[in-house]
Structure 1
Amino acid sequence: MAVVVVTDSSASLPAGLIGELGIQVVPLHVLVGDRAIREGVDDVAIDYASDSVTTSGPSPGELHRAYTDALARSGGDGVVAVHLSRQLSATWESGRQAVQEMDAGVPVRLVDSLGAGLATGFPALAAARCAAAGGALEAVYRAAVRAAESSRTFFMVNRTEQLRRGGRLSTAAGFFGSELVSKPVLQLVQGRLELRDKVRTRSKAFAKLIAAAEEAAGAGAAAVGVQHLGAAEAAETVTAQLRERIPQIAEVLTAEFGPALAVHLGVGAIGVLVLPGGCG
Structure 2
Amino acid sequence: MSRHVAIVTDSTAYLPRPTMERHGITAVPLTVVLGDRALEEGTEISARSLALALQKRHSVTTSRPSPEVFAAAYRAAAEGGADAVVSLHLSSEFSGTYDAARLAAKDAPVPVRVVDTGMVVAMALGFCALAAAEAAEAGGGLDEAVSAAEKRAAGTSAYFYVDTLDYLRRGGRIGAAQALLGSALAVKPILELDGGRIEMLEKVRTASKAIARLEEIVAERAGAAPVDIAVHHLAAQERADRLAERLRERVPGLVDLHVSEVGAVIGAHTGPGLLGAVISLR
What TM-score do you get using the length of structure 2 for normalisation? 0.92
2:211 pairs with 1:206: yes
Give the 5 Å matches for 1:27-38: 27-38=29-40
Query: 2:135: which partner in 1?
Result: 130
Q: Is the 8 A contact 1:115 1:191 kept in 2?
A: yes
Following superposition, the deviation at residue 89 of structure 1 comes to 0.7
Unmatched segments (≥5 aa) in structure 1: none
Unmatched segments (≥5 aa) in structure 2: none
Aligned residues: 274
Equivalents in 1 of 2:177, 2:217: separation in Å? 20
Query: 2:16: which partner in 1?
Result: 14
Identity percentage of aligned residues: 41
Give the 5 Å matches for 1:1-280: 1-2=2-3, 3-43=5-45, 45-46=49-50, 47-49=53-55, 50-76=57-83, 78-102=84-108, 106-116=110-120, 117-170=122-175, 173=178, 175-176=180-181, 179-277=184-282
Question: Which residue identity is paired with 1:220?
Answer: A
Following superposition, the deviation at residue 171 of structure 1 comes to 6.6
Q: Is the 8 A contact 2:165 2:182 kept in 1?
A: no
Quick check: 183-192 or 114-123, which moved more?
A: 114-123
Q: After superposition, give the CA deviation of every residue in 1:225-275 in whole Å (9 maximum; x if it has no partner).
A: 110001111101001111111111111111101011111111110110001
The alpha-carbon distance between structure 1 residues 85 and 210, as it changes in their structure 2 partners (threshold 3 A), is: same
Q: CA RMSD in A?
A: 1.7
Quick check: 51-60 or 223-232, which moved more?
A: 51-60
Following superposition, the deviation at residue 173 of structure 1 comes to 2.8
Following superposition, the deviation at residue 152 of structure 1 comes to 0.5
Equivalents in 2 of 1:185, 1:178: separation in Å? 13
Following superposition, the deviation at residue 179 of structure 1 comes to 3.3
Quick check: 189-198 or 48-57, which moved more?
A: 48-57
Q: Which portions of structure 1, spanning 4 or more consecutive aligned residues, are displaced by more than 4 angstroms?
A: none
Question: Which residue identity is paired with 2:241?
Answer: E
